[in-house]
Each structure stands twice: as structure tokens, then as C-alpha cells.
Amino acid sequence: MFGAIVPSTFLFSSRGPLVQLRKWMLAHCQIREIDLLPDRIFSHADQECAVLIGRRIHPPVPKGSRTRLRAVHDSNESRAAFQKFYRFSSTRLVPQSEFSRVATCRLWVAESQASIWKWVDGFDRLEQIATVGRGISYFGESKLSPGTITRQDVPFKGSEAGFDAGPKDWKYHLLPPFTYFNTDPQCVERVRSGLGRQPQVLLNHHRTSRLPWRLQPFIDSHGYVFSSKMMAARPKAQEITLEYLWALLISPVANLFTFHFHPDKHISEGVLLSLPVPDAKLVDVRLVTLLVKRFLTAASEERTIWNLGGKSGQVLMGHLLDIDAEVLRLYDFPAKAENVLLSHFREIERPGLGFRFASYPEAGKASVPLSAFLSKTYQLAVAGEVLPPSEEFLSELDHLERMDQPSDDDVLRLWEMRRELEGWEFVIGPPKKEKAESTDLIEYELKRIAERIASLDLKDSQK
């Protein structure tokens, strides 16, 4: 038998030596339990850690071997419950073979794997449409010439403008304050992507919060220098716009993915590159790009005490919901799975905004996707006014769908009409696809109950 306390990165890191070690463990050890703990659980440990319990055996590992996964959630209440009563926030049993399904042999299975993430298992990953890299870092003072300035808030001789800020210093639609960098190769220890000088989406390397909202990207169309506090995502193909990339990274999908699959203070390039991305067509990318531009333009005209004629927070929230709903539509989750995903953000303040955004609309109560729920047709039906699509509506929709080269206004109008049609489909009853996929979710719930019973049996046997 063995037991070990390790940094949580041991479970998730995509670095070669750790991946090889995890592969060896899965082939030569029976891993009985993995406990994932947040920082500040132990008196002198200011980092996330994990407890591994198992035994070495002669290969192969017996079929049916299962691992108990337990976690303490990253909140003051969960910490207190563990420290006082050794109470875990969640307990599950998973087949040990489940860890080998991922190429990096990550020693963790997300709590929502069956209810959310299984639906995107076969999707492309962000690494297929974009690169991700951190910014520059400097040599220590002992290796620099006396009096050398590496960066400061005002320009100096030979300096170059860029960004060296934490996520609290910017908003989705506003650039952070400039920092001025020394880009002399004699000073820069690691360049990484920091001197690429290409249009990019910049985002935080350190998580925005301990809660599911972790990413706070902004668009840098100029391509400024940036420090290792940030990461840059850059499209690999011209067809993928910065606005589309930004929409993917601000989405609830990307934020919950990093929360579930890399619960660490720092967001690694590897976890971002492994983010599932939808199979978007050019027209989809164009539509998302238009929706993002509409939001960013309106946000730059935000209503303040100095600009009473600007856009209200309610208008901006509506534009942002439209972006999220369209990205979710591209992922094509079943309605119930989408509702489970969005429920993770209930009563959690979304960062990077000048207005309050603490929850998504309660579409989950009706098992309706966000896109259909936001349609006027569905909202009128909820209020008791059922209006089927008119002949004029269907004729205009058919006309727009037949256009070879629609204008931007045509693309937005077509999007609005398709949303209304989707809303109508859920007014008259869930589509056949939703009925079929809801059966899979029922099977998942039954499996989860069986695992819970097995977990209780395991506790009794240990007593």
C-alpha cells in the first residue's frame, strides 16, 4: 500500500514526465482513492493538493477496479466542514480505466462528466483552431546590469507599450492600462508569445476567482507586448476571427471547463488548448463575430453619470446573453445538459462587466435551451399568448435562407428569425432529438444513484 500528498498539478499536468509517470501508475497500481483539496486546507500549504492512496500490483490491473474520487470544494463553508468534521463536498466511484481515456492520463474525472462533458467528447479542441502562449519574463536582478529597467508605468528610452496587469484591471471591452517594457534580448529570459506582435485575444493566466467564472479575455487587435501574467490566443486560420475566439473564451462552456478540469490557481496553456470547440461553419463564425461587435460597440457607449444617453446595463446584458446563447447553440448540448451547465453559475457575479450579471434566465425549469428561451415567441407563450409563425414570416425566412451573399443586416435578421422558429418548436413540444437524449440523461441519473449506493457500501466495509 502507498499514500502520498502531491500538488494538484500532479493530477492534471500535460508535461511529459508527469504524463509518463501517471501512465506507469495506471498500468502497475490499483488506485483506490484520490482526494482533491483546495489551498489553505493545511496550515502551511498555500496551494491545491491531492491525496493518493493505492497499492502496487503485477500488471494487468484487474478489470472492474474502481477509484473513489472525493473533493472539497473551494469555498469557506466546504473548508470548514472538512477541517472540523473531515466532510467532503462530493464522493464518487469511477472505473480506473476511465483515466486512460484521455491521452495525458489525467487522474481526475470531472463531476459533470456524464451530464455535461460526455456530449463534447468527440469535438475538436482549441489547439486545432488557435495557438495559446504566455508572455515574456525577465532575468533576475543578479543577472541584469545595474540600473536596468525592465518595465514601468511611463515610457522610457527604447521601451515598448504593452500589458502587465491582473484581470481586475480591465473589462471585457476595455484595454488594461499600458505598461512599458524593455524588449532588449539581454534582459528577456523567456520570450514565449509575448513579443509576437500579432492581433490576439489576451486573457488572464491567474484565475479571476475561485468560482466557475475564471476567464476574462479582451481583444488586442494591435498585438501589444504582454507579460507572463497573461496568455494570448491567436487564430491559426484567417476564417477564425478574434471576435469568435473571444466569444468561445468568455462562454460558460470555457469557464466551467477550466473550473472542472484544472482546479488550480493558474490556468495552463495545456488546459485551454484542450477546450472542446464546436464545428462552426463560416456563416456561424460570421454571425458570432457580428454579435460580438454589436456588444463591444454598445459597451463602449455604456450609460454612466457622464453619459446618460449611453446603453443601459439591461441592453448590454441582452447582447451578452445573445452571444452566450449562440455559442451554446453551436455546441448543441441537449437542453437538460445545457441547463445543468448554466446552473453552475447561479448567483455568481460575472467579472469584467460594468453591470450586474449574476445568473442566467431560469430556462432550466422548462428544459429549454437558452437560445429558444430568449425568443419572443417562447416568452409570449410563457405569458399565455401562443403565436405560431405567420405565412409572411415563413416566406421571409425562406427568402433569407436562399440568399447567396447576405449582408450583415441579413445575417442578423436570419439569426433572429431562426431563434423565433426554435422558440416555437419548444412551445409545441421538445423536438425528437431532445426526447431521445433525455433518455440518456435518465440513464446517467440511475448510474449516479448506483455509484452513490456503492460508495456507501464501501464506507460500511471500511468500518
Q: The CATH number of the domain where 65 resides is what?
A: 3.40.50.150
Mark whether 308 and 179 lie in a shared domain: yes
* pLDDT given for residue 13 in this prediction: 87
Residue 112 burial (CB count, 10 A): 17
Mark whether 88 and 159 lie in a shared domain: no
Query: Is there a domain that residue 395 lies in?
Result: no
**Joined grid coordinates for residue 75:** 469555498
Name residue, grid cell 464522493.
91
Give the separation between CA 442 and CA 363, rounded to whole angstroms.
Answer: 19
* pLDDT given for residue 174 in this prediction: 85
Mark whether 35 and 78 lie in a shared domain: yes
Give the separation between CA 223 and CA 337, rounded to whole angstroms.
Answer: 37
Query: Is there a domain that residue 393 lies in?
Result: no
Q: Give CA separation, 157 vs 12, 135, 225, 354, in Å.
A: 43, 21, 16, 36
Query: Is there a domain that residue 44 lies in?
Result: yes
Mark whether 321 and 184 lie in a shared domain: yes
Its domain, for residue 443, covers 433-463
Closest by alpha carbon to 86, among 157, 28, 154, 35?
Answer: 35
Query: Is there a domain that residue 407 lies in?
Result: no
Query: Is there a domain that residue 232 lies in?
Result: yes
Residue 94: Cβ-neighbour burial (10 angstroms; 0-12, 13-18, 19+): middle
Give the separation between CA 105 and CA 413, rounded to whole angstroms.
Answer: 46
Give the separation between CA 246 and CA 232, rounded to whole angstroms.
Answer: 11
Mark whether 137 and 285 lie in a shared domain: yes
Give the separation between CA 357 and CA 350, rounded to whole angstroms.
Answer: 6
Residue 62: Cβ-neighbour burial (10 angstroms; 0-12, 13-18, 19+): exposed
Query: Is there a domain that residue 97 lies in?
Result: yes
Mark whether 161 and 257 lie in a shared domain: yes
Mark whether 162 and 130 lie in a shared domain: yes
Mark whether 40 and 170 lie in a shared domain: no
Task: Name the domain count of the chain.
Answer: 3
- Sign of the four-CA dihedral 20, 23, 28, 29: positive
Query: Is there a domain that residue 251 lies in?
Result: yes
Mark whether 268 and 307 lie in a shared domain: yes
**Domain end position, chosen among 109, 136, 153:** 109
* pLDDT given for residue 455 in this prediction: 55
CATH code, 351: 3.90.220
- Contact of 221 with 242, CB cutoff 8 Å: yes
Give the separation between CA 9 and CA 15, rounded to whole angstroms.
Answer: 10
Strand, helix or coil for residue 82: helix
Residue 224: Cβ-neighbour burial (10 angstroms; 0-12, 13-18, 19+): buried
- Contact of 300 with 317, CB cutoff 8 Å: no
**Joined grid coordinates for residue 373:** 428561451
**Domain end position, chosen among 109, 142, 175:** 109
Mark whether 313 and 196 lie in a shared domain: yes
Mark whether 213 and 93 lie in a shared domain: no
Running along the chain, 463 residues long, what does each successive block of 10 average in pLDDT? 93 90 97 93 82 95 95 90 94 95 91 91 96 97 94 96 86 90 96 96 93 95 96 97 98 96 86 96 97 94 61 90 98 94 93 90 77 95 93 97 96 97 90 55 55 55 48
Query: Is there a domain that residue 426 lies in?
Result: no
Inter-axis angle of helices 391-401 and 408-428, nearest 10: 130
Mark whether 345 and 268 lie in a shared domain: yes
